[in-house]
Amino acid sequence: MNAIISASELADALRSERPPVLLDVRWQLSTAAASGQPFDGRAAYASGHIPGAVFVDLDRELASTPGPRGRHPLPDLVVFGAAMRRAGVSAGTPVVAYDGGIGWAAARAWWLLRWTGHPDVRVLDGGLPAWDGPLEAEAEAEAEAEAEAEASAPAEGDFVPKPAEGAVLDADGAAALARSGVLLDARAGERYRGEVEPIDPVGGHIPGALSAPTSDNVDADGRFRPAAELRARFGELGATRGVPVGVYCGSGVSAAHEVLALEVAGIPAALYVGSWSEWTSDPARPVAVGPDPQ
């Protein structure tokens, strides 16, 4: 099954006898929008979303409290499972996640559901900007009769998360993989090289990791490059099927997008969820700078 779905394929799926559950996971890395006000994904959802979609809060439902394990540690599985069931997710129901277009947040939802055992999850390629169908505003839904609103609400799902083994790396596992396999750093090249570091206390990368910015996985419209191009891109870095591959970023969000790109290319990969924000929380961990992996 392809891990991504086009807008036209999604429109067809929503008209089918077995429509997918839709997760709206709009989120921004920056805490402030262009207006200077903090980005509010819930407000963005309320202003217009794909009909039937349910908003999922990345910071509260797809991650736990920031701390020594990073800015976006794994969520409490009780909280995550409850959020998925509230959205209508069941083990036998297809799921499609989308965000505002960059794809990182939707990929985080995709990765978490796949990691915890859901067999049928895809990401809307290009996100909401790729959708040319109707949008539903929350105010419109509130204006409907109560009975109609209740009828349109998703039924409670039955999904119970059951984490898989081997798909998650900790700091020691990431360090070991950088020596024995391929560890990809999904951040921008200047952060990898340590030239700038706008968020974490130290710039640079995990020794042995290879620079593979997430931005190179997509075209100018934010859609994934063809699978053959992605295979060629990752192959040049030594990441091929049969080779142990892992990915990290700043806090385990954009790296999920890289894991998704690898999946499109047919290459399984593990995710270092704590990523650079966890790595640099311990000053004893080594840091490499410059373009050389070591």
Structure tokens at 151: 């009828």
What are the beta bridge partners of residue 123?
A: 4, 97
Q: Which of 106, 212, 249, 260 is catalytic?
A: 249
Does the annotation count 249 as an active-site position? yes
Contact 68, 102 (CB under 8 A): no
Q: Are 106 and 77 in contact, with CB atoms under 8 Å apart?
A: no
Q: Which residues pair with 98 in a beta bridge?
A: 24
Q: Which residues are catalytic?
A: 249
